[in-house]
């Protein structure tokens, strides 16, 4: 059978014609493009600075960071993984200088009043 030449393979396509002439429609995105569009679609966030628009992935990262600050260990581990992946914790990456050192005493009875010393 290996020595036998199949006639259907020799005549399957015209010379110069692709096996899939229509192919993928132009303008159609693959799964990575669709996922990227979903991650970077903007959402409106209302916070202390007012209303702002950020990509969904940034909003998700902020939620994860806020949960980590509240004490959620899984969120903390995820935030640390992200920081390590993007090399945010290497020495010299933090460029803010200390301008003022303050000591703040918070009264547990009245959390809205701050006393500066």
98 is a domain residue = no
104 is a domain residue = no
Tokens at 3, concatenated: 């020595």
**pLDDT surpasses 90 at 6:** no
Number of folded domains that form the chain: 1
Question: How do residues 9-52 score in pLDDT, each as one tens digit?
Answer: 767 777 777 667 777 777 778 899 999 999 999 999 998 888 99
Amino acid 3: pLDDT: 62
Model confidence at 99, pLDDT cuts 50, 70, 90, reads: confident
CA count, 13 A, side-chain hemisphere, 50: 1
Amino acid 45: pLDDT: 92
52 is a domain residue = yes
Q: What's the whole-number mean pLDDT along residues 88-112?
A: 70
39 is a domain residue = yes
Residues of the chain with pLDDT > 70, as a percent, come to: 76
**pLDDT surpasses 80 at 89:** yes
Q: Give the relative orientation of helices 56-70 and 31-39 as an angle to the nearest 10 degrees.
A: 60
Domain membership of residue 42 as a residue range? 32-93
12-16, 100-104, 111-115: which range is least confident on average? 111-115
């Amino acid at each position: 059978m290996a020595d036998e030449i199949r006639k259907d393979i020799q005549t399957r396509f015209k010379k110069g014609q692709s096996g899939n002439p229509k192919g993928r429609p132009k303008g159609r995105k693959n799964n990575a493009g669709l996922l990227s569009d979903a991650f970077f679609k903007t959402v409106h966030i209302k916070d202390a600075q007012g209303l702002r628009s950020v990509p969904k992935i940034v909003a998700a990262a902020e939620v994860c960071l806020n949960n980590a600050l509240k004490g959620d260990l899984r969120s903390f581990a995820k935030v640390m993984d992200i920081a390590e992946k993007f090399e945010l914790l290497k020495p010299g990456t933090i460029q803010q200088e200390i301008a003022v050192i303050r000591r703040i005493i918070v009264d547990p009875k009245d959390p809205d009043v701050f006393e500066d010393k």
